[in-house]
Structure 1
Amino acid sequence: MRNFKVTYRLTIFAIVFIFGVIFSLPTFLQSEYGAKINLGLDLQGGLYMLLGVDNEEAVKSKIKSIASSLNYSFEKENILNDGLSTYGDKLEFTLLDNADIPKVEKLLKEINGLNIRNENLHYQISFTEQEIKNIENFALSQAVETIRNRLDQFGLAEPTVAKQGEDKILVELAGIKTKADELRAKERITKAAHLQLMEVDDSKMNQASTMSDAEAASYGLVLVPDSRNPNLKYALKNIPILDGSMLTDARVGLSDKSNYPVINFTLNAEGSKKFADYTGANVGKRLAIVLDNKVYSAPSINERIGGGSGQISGAFTQEEARDVAVALRSGALLAPVKLLEQRSIGPSLGADSIRMSMIALTGASIFIIVFMIFYYGMAGIFANIAMIANILVVVAIMAMFGATLTLPGMAGLVLTVGMAVDANVIINERIRELLRDGAKIKLSIEQGYKNAMSAIIDSNITSLVTSVVLYVYGTGSVKGFAVTLGIGIVVSMITAILGTHGMFDCFMHRIEKSNNTRFWFGYRRK
């Protein structure tokens, strides 16, 4: 054993190599156990969608939200008015007492981006052009975040959800293969999940089935169909008591009166206070629970309801209730999203991509292995061992974090193979230079690593910065390439520098004893 020396460098490399083998095996063997790399849309097929946001509805939703807040404030401050009404993107009301003008002006000043017209106590409120633009931008950003949250909670692996241009959303879902999965995924994504608690106008309920929408609007009402019977319509006051923006949680439960699933929801502090105040002041009236413009129930208020919780009941299946609860939990969409483009990508393209990528990876690896052995001798074999360790560790790390491997990611893996030996090429050339100058073998190896270090670190840092920038500003498959490349760069610093140096340390005695530079370094010293 005295011919072999185990140093800390070799120990670290051995630990890294064993780690790579253990945690990459489930991916290579595709076993049922252990973490594996997920394949992206371009490798295993799936669903590609391009969505747009209904900006007009976003503005209408925002004006209704402001109307709801003002209505609550008017009641709290005892501001007399003839009732708030919304017409598209405008809000109108008339004050009944001049003394309330300062209070109203103060409330309106707290809201940014409003155009306010006041003629003889009649207020007409709309948004400025800049505020409309802000609402549209927020609706797009909020839709991206909400859709991503929903898909994450539904357990879909590494979905791609990103802005496309100024007003579109790109969604890529890998592994969606059946029509049923496709339809359910579209339902999850496009469901508005807009919850509202609205007051029922019982005096107009008898006319609801024959009343037109325009006539209802003239009374400050909106007609909303029942969730189970579309022919049954409810006459509801068009200003909601509160909406889903005040919801903090939604969970599936079972009804006390039946075995049907129900959705129990919880409100935040502001929503709880509004709910308690309204129910306390309106005992005997009916309160409709509206989800996505359908009335799920309209119970009578028997007493003040504190605690900030409620229940949505309907003929839900367990799966439907779960989907609705997840949609509510992850946030309602400020505005509906519409499907602009859809493509189903079959797995055959992915199979071809995987096969060609594996041919490229295998071919590149074989060529590099043969070249390194032929040109650098045993030093080339050390570099090849480090390269194999690099690939195993990159796959292991990606599998542990549940990363998605895309076709560009495969390209990054192929590129990593070349980069894994690049550092050793520089080191071996530095060692050869010193051997040519007549330096002793041990000194040549130590100085070779030392002299090559600055060039290796500089090149790797610049490549790492590039991969970070690609990840931060890229989308979809570009991120996959950046992740693979970045992990490969970091790992190569361990395998190529510590690993091969540790191997040289291990065989140093034999190298010096043999003095065969042609065998060990591919260079015959004269």
Structure 2
Amino acid sequence: MKLNFRVIVFAAAILFGVVFSIPSLLQTDKGTKITLGLDLQGGLHMLLGVKTEEAVSSRLKAIASGINHFSEREEVLIDGLTADDESVRFTLLDSDDAPAMDKMLAGIEGGKVVHDGESYHVSLTPEAVLKTQKQAVDQAIETIRNRLDQFGLAEPTVARQGVDNILVELPGIKSAEEEQRARELISRAAKLELMAVDEERKMRAYTMTPAEAARFGDVVLPDAERAGGKYLVREIPILDGSMLTDAQVAFNQNNQPVINFSLNSEGAQIFGDFTGKNVGNHLAIVLDGQVYSAPVINERIGGGHGQISGNYTVEQAQDLAIALRSGALLAPIFMLEKRSVGPSLGADSIQASLIALIGGFALVFVFMIVYYKMAGIIANIALVANLFLIIAVMAMFGATLTLPGMAGIVLTVGMAVDANVIISERIRELLYQGVSIHKAIEEGYANAMRAILDANITTLIAAIVLYVYGTGAIKGFAITISIGILASMLTAILGTHGIYEMLETRIAKSKNVSLWFGVSKKKAAA
């Protein structure tokens, strides 16, 4: 026997597979392990709805904020700027500013502008309304997925269902505390707004009705820290969380967690301009409709940095920072359906899948030995190595194993041995023709290579398409199939070829092709 590079690579692959599979197979405390999906370990299943009509209202408020900033920057005098669920209204005080205002309004995508003299009415076209509603659902899916990824959940499923519903599956959520924390993180709007306090009427915050506040272009918001506390702020925000670029947890001088946030260049400019013109006034930091603080502006604040303080625990501050970083929801979401998947379902699924896997593996294992003799044993070694490699690679990348994923492993067992069947049959055909052992092995692999590559590459392409366009469990199936294909090509083509090269001299000396390849002596003699 002599070593060759193929055997060395094959041995290294087996060693890699065994080492990285042990944590998953033995469920050790150390090492990276495969994460079980919702269908195998249980968890939380939710169906969420999106209030898309409120996304339109938020879009109109953003337009109003832009008009307000434009008028202050360009010194265009306007009055009565208000925004409701259908439109933005304001009055232009100087008709000479009409060309500049018209040019600015013309740049609003999907905007519909109607004005009668100096009275302006800005709304969205029906097409823009539909686009905004669709964007609200798309953005909610992306935001929820980002939040859950940063939360640390492995392979959560977040997918559109129907027109404006979202399916969320969270494997591993078992306790009521974990469920509550995940639900709050998902549903939190995390809408950050910087709003000006109405300095002239702020003392009337406790007596002014919402309707009366609206007549002055104001809104009454509750204090997040003081029960019963209220603030009277301007309805149109100075800027919102869409200009936020980062949010991180820090600690103040009292060692209490706070959240430091940063704004983009546009937000920093608006923030700096406003604080420079309003020294001595109050700036309200509003999060999800509640005022967390309203500090006095002592000087112009440049750089686009701010801080949110509150009575948080460290965990709450971390979750809020995650929600801010991942972006505010354009529209609120609400629960349509919630279902906890118990671990007993997972245990039954695992048991059924293991029976199928072990049963299929055993039948293939026995068939290969009976039909191909020693060649079958070599193929079985490659098959075992293939299973270890699949588990190891999935564990190394922290992949989630779902029930379809286990089905993919079962299917891979048959696919992995298929390459060895093709190779063994090509070798046997050449042995029947009376060629030497060396020539039969080399030409057998050469002749089988095209068929093996064609079959595996086409299957791999299909698996990639499933992964790109599939969701949830379909991705799990595609991942296991893809890993299995690549592993089988390594073990079947490279590994077994190396073993044959190592044993070639012994096979030739024995002259017992029946023992090594299951070749019929009568056919070989003929």
Give the TM-score normalised by the residue count of structure 1.
0.97
Among residues 358, 365, 381, which one is paired with 2:361 in the alignment?
A: 365
Moved more, 437-446 or 473-482: 437-446
CA distance change for structure 1 residues 58 and 43 in 2, over 3 Å: closer, same or farther? Answer: same
Q: Does 1:312 align with 2:308?
A: yes
Q: Does 1:480 align with 2:459?
A: no
> 2:263, 2:80 → 1: CA distance?
26
Pairing 1:83-482 to 2, within 5 Å after superposition: 83-256=80-253, 258-482=254-478
> 1:210, 1:340 → 2: CA distance?
37
> 1:475, 1:216 → 2: CA distance?
47
**1:67: Cα distance to partner?**
1.2
**1:214: Cα distance to partner?**
2.3
> 2:371, 2:319 → 1: CA distance?
61
> 1:88, 1:515 → 2: CA distance?
88
Q: Which runs of 4 or more aligned residues in structure 1 lie more than 6 Å from their structure 2 counterparts after TM superposition?
A: none
**1:504: Cα distance to partner?**
1.0
The Cα offsets for residues 269-307 of structure 1, whole Å up to 9 and x where unpaired, read as 211111111111112221111000001111222222222
SS at match of 1:202: coil
2:72 aligns with 75
> 1:307, 1:456 → 2: CA distance?
60
> 2:266, 2:111 → 1: CA distance?
23
> 2:434, 2:421 → 1: CA distance?
20
Aligned length: 522
> 2:272, 2:430 → 1: CA distance?
84
Moved more, 342-351 or 434-443: 434-443
**1:262: Cα distance to partner?**
1.8
SS at match of 1:84: strand
The Cα offsets for residues 155-212 of structure 1, whole Å up to 9 and x where unpaired, read as 1122122222332222111110011110110001110110101111133333333333
SS at match of 2:496: helix
> 1:80, 1:183 → 2: CA distance?
48
Pairing 1:24-35 to 2, within 5 Å after superposition: 24-35=21-32
The one-letter code of the counterpart of 2:436 is K
Moved more, 325-334 or 487-496: 325-334
The one-letter code of the counterpart of 2:334 is K
The Cα offsets for residues 52-108 of structure 1, whole Å up to 9 and x where unpaired, read as 221111111111112111111111111111142101131011111111111011111
> 2:448, 2:257 → 1: CA distance?
67
**1:224: Cα distance to partner?**
0.9
SS at match of 1:203: coil
Q: Could you list the runs of 5+ residues in structure 2 that have no partner in the other structure?
A: none
Among residues 504, 508, 511, which one is paired with 1:512 in the alignment?
A: 508
CA contact (8 A) 2:197 2:284 kept: yes
The one-letter code of the counterpart of 2:455 is S
> 2:462, 2:131 → 1: CA distance?
32
CA contact (8 A) 2:47 2:335 kept: yes
> 2:114, 2:500 → 1: CA distance?
83
CA contact (8 A) 2:60 2:84 kept: no
**1:13: Cα distance to partner?**
1.1
Moved more, 313-322 or 484-493: 313-322
Q: Could you list the runs of 5+ residues in structure 1 that have no partner in the other structure?
A: none
Calculate the aligned-residue CA RMSD, in Å: 1.3
SS at match of 2:189: coil
> 2:255, 2:467 → 1: CA distance?
48
**1:429: Cα distance to partner?**
1.2
Q: Does 1:522 align with 2:524?
A: no
> 1:468, 1:107 → 2: CA distance?
46
SS at match of 1:79: coil
The one-letter code of the counterpart of 1:321 is A
Among residues 50, 54, 61, which one is paired with 2:51 in the alignment?
A: 54
> 1:312, 1:327 → 2: CA distance?
13
The one-letter code of the counterpart of 1:214 is A
The one-letter code of the counterpart of 1:378 is M
**1:437: Cα distance to partner?**
2.2
Give the TM-score normalised by the residue count of structure 2.
0.97
The Cα offsets for residues 473-507 of structure 1, whole Å up to 9 and x where unpaired, read as 11000000000001100111110111111111111
The one-letter code of the counterpart of 1:140 is V
The one-letter code of the counterpart of 1:304 is R
SS at match of 1:395: helix
**1:230: Cα distance to partner?**
4.8
SS at match of 1:150: helix
> 2:79, 2:172 → 1: CA distance?
55
SS at match of 2:31: coil
The one-letter code of the counterpart of 2:292 is Y
Moved more, 32-41 or 302-311: 302-311
> 1:440, 1:164 → 2: CA distance?
62
**1:233: Cα distance to partner?**
2.2
The one-letter code of the counterpart of 1:438 is G
